[in-house]
Amino acid sequence: MVIFFIALCLVSPVIFYQLWSFVSPGLHRHERRFIYKYSIFSALLFIVGVVFAFYIGFPLIINFSLKLSATLHIDPVIGFKAYLVELIRWLLVFGVLFQLPILFMGLAKFGLIDAHALKHYRKYIYFACFVTASIIAPPDLTLNILLTLPLILLFEFSMLIVKITYRQ
């Protein structure tokens, strides 16, 4: 599992280059510039999501599990394989979740959404952020709130990007 994940990380630039070499000739010039412009931003957001999961999200999950096992008087047994599978899952989930600003930016660039329309749905999106955090995290209210806050901040950051992108 570890070797597969490391190999995937090492080979992914070659895979993306080959994919880009295949797709690039079929795109218009402005579409290629759009992808060049925001691919570095996307990679940076993915790395920030992975770092957040590694240093904040995953340790909170492990601490919650250890406290729960102590409360229930159960000896915690964490296997190395289960630990790695869960860690990789968390890293990928948060890496993908942190792509939300890129998604909103692309939708705004092509005129599919605007900031004014999103303002009316803000409370529903906040609720969806809380539900998403509840699905991916154990049932602890403090942990859910700590995981909901970055999602809400990502949404607000996405709204700011939509306003900037929509003006252009």
Q: Residue 38: inside a domain, yes or no?
A: no
CA distance 46 to 54: 12
Q: Residue 124: inside a domain, yes or no?
A: yes
Q: Residue 18: inside a domain, yes or no?
A: no
* pLDDT for res 138: 67
Closest by alpha carbon to 42, among 161, 166, 122, 133? 161
* pLDDT for res 15: 87
Q: Residue 97: inside a domain, yes or no?
A: yes
C-beta atoms surrounding 41 within 10 Å = 14
Q: Do residues 144 and 134 lie in contact, with contact meaning Cβ atoms separated by under 8 Å?
A: yes
Q: Residue 93: inside a domain, yes or no?
A: yes
Closest by alpha carbon to 129, among 147, 143, 113, 115? 147
Q: Residue 84: inside a domain, yes or no?
A: yes
- Reading the block at residue 20, the tokens are 């880009």
* pLDDT tens-digit series, residues 54-74: 998 888 888 888 888 888 888
* pLDDT for res 166: 67
Q: Residue 117: inside a domain, yes or no?
A: yes
CA distance 14 to 20: 10
* pLDDT for res 168: 59
CA distance 30 to 27: 8
Q: Residue 140: inside a domain, yes or no?
A: yes
* pLDDT tens-digit series, residues 70-118: 888 888 877 888 888 888 888 888 888 888 888 888 788 777 887 777 8
* pLDDT tens-digit series, residues 11-32: 888 888 888 889 888 888 888 8
Question: Is pLDDT of 127 > 70?
Answer: yes
* Tokens 């969806």 found at: 128
Residue 134: which domain range? 43-166
Residue length of the chain: 168
Q: Do residues 109 and 158 lie in contact, with contact meaning Cβ atoms separated by under 8 Å?
A: no
Number of domains in the chain: 1
Question: Is pLDDT of 139 > 80?
Answer: no
* Tokens 């952020």 found at: 129
